[in-house]
Amino acid sequence: MKKTGFLSETSLASPPAALPGARPVTVQRYNGTTQPAQDWLAEEVPVALVYNGVSHVVMMATPQELSLLALGFSLAEGIVATPQDIYDIEEKQGQRGIEVHIELAGRAFEALKQRRRNLVGRTGCGVCGTEQIDDVCRPLPVLPFTQQFPLAALDHGLAQLHDRQKLGQQTGCTHAAAWLSPTGVILGQCEDVGRHVALDKLLGLRSREGWQDGAVLVTSRASYEMVQKAAQCGVEILFAVSAATSLAVDTAIQYGVSLIGFSRSGRATLYTHPERLK
């Protein structure tokens, strides 16, 4: 099997085993001549998050780790204050997509109904359907400065990242979000066709595992919403492999997030609150 980055070229004679979230497809590959070959597609399906029987959001996502998505989205959007506000999560397969039913505590569900937010998102779009402009940037407490992160540890995390992106290696079209320990060890990561969804899944995983010290590393640009999700969940440091948007920088300044872009081996661009970076 020949690989260039995440672009795989796999012969029909020896197809690899399918990974969760990947679907095989026969393609015609051109390299001077055309011949059939086995390739893999990342699955992308509509996923509805349904709170106490009421559909709240539909997003396009890779259909794995959906309980983590439900937990992480609920925390990152401020729907619940703690995981204890969620009593149960159940996946239900439909003909056209998947419904994830989340049973909320009564006080959390009442607060959700008050927000009257019913959005329909697409891959790479986090606010489609938001009813009011003021709902886009919601007020959050400024994060405390409780930790520092050595930039040398970022290099260590980046060195591990590619090999851990199994679905990305097989399909070539997923984003990843990883949690780095203060020494740069990747404690866990999640992949999805949507960068926001990958981050939601990771924030759910972080909550489930109880990780506190460390930083988020995402294989995409940093949008304002990714900064907002991190701040909502108490994440003080966010590394992005690509650039940050202007609103992401403004949001990071406002909420006290250390935002770093163009994270590469031996270099990075520190946009906000560099005092957390050694």
Tens of pLDDT, residues 136-195: 667 899 999 999 999 999 999 999 999 999 999 999 999 999 999 999 999 999 999 999
Closest C-alpha to 185, from 210, 166, 211, 167: 211
Cα–Cα distance measured from residue 100 to residue 53, given in angstroms and rounded to the nearest whole number: 10
- Considering 125, 128, 137, 173, which one is annotated as catalytic? 125
Tens of pLDDT, residues 220-269: 999 999 999 999 999 999 999 999 999 999 999 999 999 999 999 999 99
Return the structure tokens found at 124: 């790479």
Q: What letter represents residue 85's amino acid? A: D
CB neighbour class for 140 (10 Å; exposed up to 12, middle 13-18, buried from 19): middle
Q: What's the alpha-carbon Rg for the chain, to the nearest Å?
A: 19
190 in catalytic set? no
Look at the chain and count its residues. Answer: 278
Tens of pLDDT, residues 41-82: 999 999 999 999 999 999 999 999 999 999 999 999 999 999
Q: Convert 23-32 to b/e letters by CB count within 10 Å (16 or more is b).
A: eeeeeeeeee
Q: Is the distance from CB of 156 to CB of 185 less than 8 angstroms?
A: yes
| CA contacts within 13 A on the Cβ side of 244 | 28
- The mean-pLDDT minimum among 5-9, 86-90, 123-127, 251-255 falls in 5-9
For residue 147, CA distances in Å to 169, 203, 236 come to: 33, 18, 8
- The mean-pLDDT minimum among 11-20, 114-123, 152-161, 206-215 falls in 114-123
Q: According to DSSP H, which parts of the chain are helical?
A: 66-76, 106-115, 151-164, 166-171, 195-209, 224-232, 246-255
Looking at residue 17, its pLDDT comes to: 79
3-state secondary structure of 5: coil
